[in-house]
Amino acid sequence: MKPIIGISMGDATGIGPEIIVKALQHKEVYEQGNPFVIGDLSMLRRAAEVVGSDLEFHTVETVESCRFEHGVIDVMDLRLLPEDLEQGVVSKEAGNAAFHYLSKAIELGKEGQLAAICTAPLNKEALHLGGHSYPGHTEILAELTGTKDYSMMLSSPKLRVIHLTTHIGLLDAISAINPDRTYTVIKLAYETLTKAGYDNPRIAVCGINPHAGENGLFGNGEEEEKLTPAIAKAQQEGIDVSGPHPADTLFFRAVRGDFDIVVACYHDQGHVPIKVLGLEEGVNITVGLKGGLVRTSVDHGTAFDIAGKNIADERSMLAALKAAADLAPK
């Protein structure tokens, strides 16, 4: 049986509706899983006109009524937005709607009606204007599922990265890292890849300082205090983890194939190498959600500057849908 994947539409004034329609034109999406969209039908119809799609829309009230057929987009229409909503601008209405699309998807996931959520991008400013003060998708998912131990994973064809910290300032990130958090994320990486079929995945941990501190030459012993005890603990449990490694060579080694996943200490340390390799195939994955719910997302933003121009590239959405199908409980 193919997993049911709920696609939350994200910010409707951005490229989300366009890349959803473009992605669902591809037959392989329906060969991998059973997707349906949670959003506003009027915005999807507008996107279909922009991209010149002749796909049929099928409005549903329940997951059970979805048809899951290539050529037909099943839509759970929440009817939250005016049809004349302006594209390419920050909108509190769109920010509020994006929150409720995701909230509905999470509700269905907690009820066991879908196996994975794939999210189109939202805009943080619009989200806040809409009355929802979260840094992003990951934090909403964690709160609404009651998950304490979670992490952001980024995946591309040549590199996977999981983060100790994400949407906080650099000084705060370093303060937030401790052996318990490092151990938790190593375990999340191990469990996620093991469930995905990896036999004893190879995990590498980045250093915090240049050259991973170089035996105390740089920094104030952060590696020895915050990273090394957790690595040793995981190694004692038989997990193939090593480090801390200098970040300036570690990502090259991982791309070469020396490791299956890299543990990054802060946002840009992990995001930059993934995005340098190409935004088009990057996938954002939330790891560790309660109930085994899988969440994947495109690894780019709302791109207001090109919204409504039929320029948006759907490859990251295709990659996110494939990752959702691959990682969903079987």
Distances (CA, A) of 33 to 68, 77, 105, 107, 250: 9, 20, 16, 20, 34
The reported pLDDT for the residue numbered 255 is: 96
In sequence order, the β-bridge partners of residue 57 are 73
* Rounded mean pLDDT for each run of 10 residues along the chain, 330 residues in total: 94 96 97 97 97 96 96 98 93 97 96 94 94 89 92 91 93 96 96 84 97 85 96 98 96 96 96 85 86 87 93 93 84
DSSP state of 62: S
> What confidence score (pLDDT) does residue 138 get?
85
Cβ neighbours of residue 236 under 8 Å, at least 6 residues apart? none
Angle at CA of residue 87, ends 86 and 91, nearest 5°: 70
Determine the Cα–Cα distance for residues 227 and 230; give it in Å rounded to an integer: 6
- Residue 325: name the closest of 111, 115, 152 by CA: 115
Retrieve residue 266's tokens: 């802060």
The β-bridge relationship of strands 4-8 and 283-287 is unpaired
Q: What pLDDT is stored for residue 292 in this prediction?
A: 80
pLDDT score at 330: 58
Dihedral sign, Cα of residue 268, residue 271, residue 274, residue 277? negative
Yes or no: say if 10 and 98 are a contact pair by the CB < 8 Å rule. Answer: yes
Extents of the domains making up the chain: 1-147+289-330, 148-288
**CB hemisphere CA count around 150 (13 angstroms):** 25
pLDDT value at residue 280: 73
At residue 177, the pLDDT reads 97
302, 295, 271, 286: which is closest to 123 by C-alpha?
302
Pick the CATH number of 1-147+289-330 from 1.10.3720.10, 3.40.718.10, 3.40.50.720, 3.40.50.300: 3.40.718.10
Radius of gyration, alpha carbons of the chain: 20
**The 151-156 sheet, strands edge to edge:** 56-59, 72-77, 34-39, 4-8, 116-119, 294-298, 283-287, 151-156, 159-163, 261-264, 203-206, 241-245
- The fold adopted by the segment(s) 148-288 is Isopropylmalate Dehydrogenase (3.40.718)
Structure tokens at 58: 């099928």
148-288 and 1-147+289-330 share a CATH fold: yes
With left for phi above 0 and alpha for psi between -120 and 50, is residue 85 left, alpha or beta?
Answer: beta
Length reported for the chain: 330
